[in-house]
Amino acid sequence: MKSLTDSARLLKKRGLHTRPEPADVAIVLGAYTRGYQPGRVLTGRLRAALHLYRIGFVQHFIVSGGKGEDETVSESSSMKRFLILNGVPPEVVLQEMTSVDTWENLRNSQLVMKRNGFTSAIIVTSDYHLPRALAVAKQLDMNATGFASPSTRREWRSAVREVFARAKYNVSGQSVWPE
């Protein structure tokens, strides 16, 4: 168990030390939502993305996430509504509504980028998730940096879960361990 918590701690630390560069678009990766109300993790990611927008690092958003079995609306619909309610013009928020995992989030968002002429992105997700998301982006040959939303102590289980998710990707041939 100690090695699991050590691995989770390392992922969180690595994610928090990632620094973004200005880009065409912020790709916000989905997480659980209760109807149109983003959960705690997703709210953190959206606030981080809003910060990037307000300081001029991005001019557009791609909100990426489908509808989970336990959700009544897609994660991307919930995210778009949150951003609009926080002053973002609707026309700068693009939706990717079909993805169910990190690989699909980024592959599908890459297609949205190409359709809209975007060439660079900042991937916005939780600190423990960012290293894997950036590794997937690298495999997809995306021009992307990352920005982490800090997780709380209550989200520690998610960081441990991330260790298993990375192992699953590795076993399936989609190695996402950073070099």
Interacting residues of 18 by C-beta distance below 8 A, sequence separation 6+: 130, 131, 134, 145, 146, 147, 148
Q: What is the DSSP string of 88-131?
A: --GGGEEEE----SHHHHHHHHHHHHHHTT---EEEEEETTTHH
Q: How many domains in the chain? A: 1
The 10s digit of each residue's pLDDT in 7-65 is 445 544 554 556 789 999 999 999 999 999 999 999 999 999 999 999 999 999 999 99
pTM of the shown model: 0.80
| 31, part of any domain | yes
pLDDT at 178: 47
What's 142's domain CATH number? 3.40.50.620
| 88, part of any domain | yes
| 176, part of any domain | no
| 76, part of any domain | yes
Supply the range of the domain harboring residue 32.
Answer: 2-171
| 38, part of any domain | yes
Residue 59 near residue 92 (C-beta atoms within 8 A): yes
